Amino acid sequence: MIAIRVLQPVKCVKSLNSRLFCSAKKPTWPRKIFSGIQPTGGLHIGNYLGAISQWVNLQNAGEDVTYCIVDLHSITLPQDPAGLRENILGVTASLLACGIDPKKSTLFLQSDVKQHAELGWILGCHTTMARLGHLPQFKEKSAKVKEIPLGLFVYPVLQAADILLYKATHVPVGEDQVQHLQLAQHLAKTFNTKFGATFPHCHALVADDLSNRIKSLREPTRKMSKSDADPKATILLTDSPDAVVEKVKKAVTDFTSAVTFDPENRPGVSNLITIHSLMSQWSPEEICEMNTDVDTGKYKARVAEAVVEHLTPIRLRIEDFRRHPDYLCQVLDEGAQVATELAEATIQTVKERLGLGKTTHSRQECKKIEEN
């Protein structure tokens, strides 16, 4: 079981504008978990070990979990339409193969639930450009394009809408996503202060182990990424055994032959030990003791063997699910029906508190006029 650390909110400081949010009468929200993943490229072992395994554990622990394939986030940068459709089915198959059970979790496609975009616009009207401009992912991604799409700038607002729409109290995230979650916390507080208690404060669930530290095989000081230009930098869940062996063999290490765990001074070897540990359930210390008889070159073969053994059943299940696209679409459709019902209830509350649309009172008045 993955150890999970809950990041607690900063203690509230009372002021004229925060009395409602800090009031002792604030509601008790039922525990709900939400998380999402983009369908851009194939899922890799960093996604699997750092996020999806945690999702499965939360699901199997009986938590109220909602998981979303966030395709609207994907189009903040250019996408090939046919490729995006294939990736959506591929991610769905991968999630199911890794253990996500549609009978225990709500799994759906973001664009199938229109309320995400609707709440995103509403929350955007309560967000400042200065706050968005300071978020790290915008700085990182905008540096790679000449003309910055508006969607890339407001991406975190839609991300906040994803969370608040289902009144999530806990969100599994990597440490690099905590700042974006803080925007959701800020927007919930802002909305609640102005319009009454509508959204819970959402807490970050950060895995308190090695699972969120999977690095690139080619640049072990950087996080493993689906968008890496070097295909040898990532191990995909769909990679063949030969491909896994080749990628591990080419992994960057150093000139020291001993197998030792020292992430700061030996990031390449330590990354392989981390992967080996998570795939085998042995601790890094145990792995180092078991491999005193080999140098790092021969140790790579043992890492590759452990990865192949762990991933082969998953890869075969992915291939099986991909042969049944109608079933994958059915899973997403059924999940979207459940998600839409929850999302619509939230949107109606938000609209009434903002004064948007026809309120319950105005509908009753219209009905009286029609009857007369």
The two structure tokens encoding residue 288: 């180092």
Cα–Cα distance, 307 to 313 (Å, whole number): 11
- The arrangement of strands across the sheet holding 203-207 comes to 4-7, 203-207, 170-172, 33-37, 65-69, 106-109
**At residue 131, what is the residue type?**
R
Q: What's the Cα-to-Cα distance from 61 to each of 1, 54, 70, 150, 194, rounded to whole Å? A: 10, 11, 24, 39, 36
**Selection from 87, 39, 104 nearest residue 325 by Cα:** 87
Cα–Cα distance, 71 to 69 (Å, whole number): 6
Pairing mode, if any, of strands 4-7 and 203-207?
antiparallel
Residues 6+ apart with CB under 8 A from 317: 96, 97
Q: Name 44's bridge partners.
A: 236
Which positions are catalytic? 141, 223, 226
